[in-house]
Amino acid sequence: METMDIPAGRPATEEQARAIQDELRTRTILGEPGPPPGTGHVTGVDVAYDDERDVVAAAAVVLDAATLEVVAERTAVGRISFPYVPGLLAFREIPTVLAALDALPCPPGLVVCDGYGLAHPRRFGLASHLGVLTGLPTIGVAKNPFTFSYDDPGPRRGAWTPLLAGDEEVGRALRTRAAVKPVFVSVGHRVSLDNACAHTLALTPAYRLPETTRRADALCRRALREATTRQGG
C-alpha cells in the first residue's frame, strides 16, 4: 500500500479527536462510483481487543472479488491508543488497521470496514476516516443502526430502506439474507451508496455479514489470542 500523506495526529482528548474529524471530513470524496463489484480485490479489516492486557490486534484480509477466495492476509498487534467513545471509534481502531494494511503484499482494492462511514454524528465514521488517510475506496457495513432510524426492509435478500438521520439519508438498511436482520451500509470514500450496497450483496452469498468482515474478524481474534497467549496469560 502507498504511504499516507495526511497527518493523522493521535488526539489526546475527545475534543481534539472531534476537531480532527471536522478537518479530515472536508477531504472525503463522495462523487465517485468506485470499483465495479466482482472485479479486482476487496479487503476486509477488523480489530479485536484485550483491554485487560492493553493489547489490540488488527487483521486485513484481501479477497478476489470474483471468487471470494483469500489472496493475502496480514495482522498487526499494538497497544490500545484510545478508549471506545461512540462517534470516535476510528481513533481506537485505525492505527493498528493501518499497520495491517501497510503490511499487505498487494493492493487492497476496495476496503470494507466493520462500522460506519457517512452514517456518523459528524458524517465521518471509521470508513470515511480510513479512506481519507489511505486514499483507498472504502465502505462501512455495520451490524447495528447506531443512533439512526430506519423502517424494516422487506423480507427478501436485496431489499433495503433508507438509514435516516432526521430526514437525511446517511446509508441503507440492507437485507443480505432472507428474513434475517439487515446490515447497515454507508459510504466511506470514493464509492457511491448504490455501489456500496452492490458490493455488500456480492460479499454475502451465504451469511448475513460480508465474507471480508467474517474473515477479518476470525483472523484478528486469532492474532489477539496468539499475542496474549505468549505473554502473560
Partner DNA sequence: GCGACAG
Partner DNA sequence: ATCTTGTCGC
Contact between 221 and DNA (CB under 7 A)? yes
| CB burial string 172-200: b at 16+ within 10 A, e below | bbbbbbeeeebbbbbbbbbbbbebbbbbb
Residue type, 21: Q
**Maximum distance among all alpha carbons in the chain?**
51
Stretch that binds DNA, among 28-36, 62-70, 101-109, 135-143 (CB under 7 A): 135-143
Closest CB to DNA among 40 and 228? 228
Q: Closest by alpha carbon to 4, among 21, 22, 24, 19?
A: 24
Q: Least distance to DNA from the beta carbon of 175, Å?
A: 16
Contact between 219 and DNA (CB under 7 A)? no
Contact between 147 and DNA (CB under 7 A)? yes
Contact between 86 and DNA (CB under 7 A)? yes
210, 218 contact by CB (below 8 A)? no
Q: Least distance to DNA from the beta carbon of 39, Å?
A: 26
Contact between 224 and DNA (CB under 7 A)? yes
Three-class HEC string of 97-143: HHHHHHCCCCCCCEEEECCCCCCCCCCCCHHHHHHHHHCCCEEEEEC
51 appears as a binding residue in the annotation: no
5 appears as a binding residue in the annotation: no
The residue within the footprint of DNA, chosen from 47, 71, 132, 202 (CB under 7 A), is 47
Non-local (6+) Cβ contacts of 26 within 8 A are none
Contact between 16 and DNA (CB under 7 A)? no
The residue within the footprint of DNA, chosen from 84, 152, 205, 226 (CB under 7 A), is 84
With cell 430526514, the residue in question is: 167
Q: d(Cα 207, Cα 73) in Å, to the nearest integer?
A: 21
Contact between 46 and DNA (CB under 7 A)? yes
Counting residues that bind DNA (by CB under 7 A) gives 28
130, 116 contact by CB (below 8 A)? no
Closest CB to DNA among 36 and 122? 122
Q: Which of residues 103-122 bind DNA (CB under 7 A)?
A: 114-116, 120
Q: Which of residues 50-79 bind DNA (CB under 7 A)?
A: 50
Contact between 126 and DNA (CB under 7 A)? yes
CA dihedral 146, 131, 210, 160 (to 10 degrees): 50
Which residues line the annotated binding site for Mg(2+)? 46, 114
Binding residues, by number, are 46, 114
Q: Residues interacting with DNA, by CB under 7 A?
A: 46-50, 84, 86-90, 114-116, 120, 125-127, 140, 142-147, 217, 221, 224
